[in-house]
Chains A and B, each alone.
Chain A
């Protein structure tokens, strides 16, 4: 029973995240492939605007950082039931290989520990080319406020584009 309710909650959050997307999330054209308590997997298509060269052979590292940050946000949202607000405290990224591919960029992120005030996240990035070699790895901490009234989910439902 709980599993079914959880699944519905995950689907609601993922749908909201997609439908209320604006700004950079929209620009990155993200597609959620997995979204549950164990983490999120998101796909980002190649975008020449995010490249370092006109020929579009290499992505700027900052795009990978932005992708990790986005994935951490969704992962927290899913893993923390009563999250009211969350703010990124810090973000650390190691660039393991040059981001030299036109394949879709894949990111996996999870919230691996949460306390009353803090959430800890870790994530990795690879290109969808089959070999799954990590291009970047990141971790982040978030400051949380929790509560039942006026959760972030409710705010997402009532604000955003078109409201």
Chain B
């Protein structure tokens, strides 16, 4: 998929605009994207860290885009998710890589990793299942 076309598709989705997602790289099995920090993403009012739901939403979005057959394909249907929160999500640009573990005819399983500055110190890890039909 072409990055510019995928970004255009993202920019048409109200919730993706709310998240402010930028697509960075894409190939057959991966998708890389970033999301700059915004005040509206705060979850913990004492520490001003990212809301866990925003991190999960960002990862789900990138995971769901990674399994599209092409940029005009119908959206895939999320079945379930599991997110491990590994470190506090302090204010800063979050990057997520989605890696397709398995994509069959009906189902896809996607792993995601989200980090702030250092990929080796991830903030969260996710596992997402999608229905493709």
Binding site for B on A (CB under 8 A): 20-27, 48-54, 56, 59-63, 65-70, 73, 87-95, 98, 152, 155-156, 159-161
Residues on B facing A (Cβ under 8 Å): 12-15, 17-18, 39-43, 45-46, 48, 51-54, 56-58, 60-61, 75, 77-85, 88
Contacts of B14 in A (CB 8 A): 48-54, 56
What separation, in Å, do the CA atoms of A62 and B35 have in the docked complex? 15
Q: Are A23 and B57 in contact (CB under 8 A)?
A: no
Secondary structure dominating the interface of A: mixed
Instruction: Name the residue on B nearest A20 (C-beta).
Output: B45
A155 to B57, Cβ gap below 8 A? no
Q: Are A68 and B53 in contact (CB under 8 A)?
A: yes
Given the known A-B contacts A69-B51, A91-B82, are A60 and B15 also in contact in the complex, defined by CB atoms under 8 Å? yes
Query: Which residues from chain A contact B45 at a C-beta distance below 8 Å?
Result: 20-23, 25, 156, 159-161
A66, B85: Cβ atoms under 8 Å? no
Given A52-B75, A63-B57, check contact A23 B40 (CB 8 Å). yes
Bound complex: CA A154 to CA B15 (Å): 34
Closest-CB distance, A14 to chain B (whole angstroms): 15
Partner among B13, B43, B61 whose Cβ is within 8 Å of the Cβ of A25: B43
Residues of A within 8 A of B51 (CB): 23-25, 66, 69-70
Q: Which residue of B lies closest to A93 (CB)?
A: B81
List, in ascending order, chain B residues with CB within 8 A of A68's CB.
53
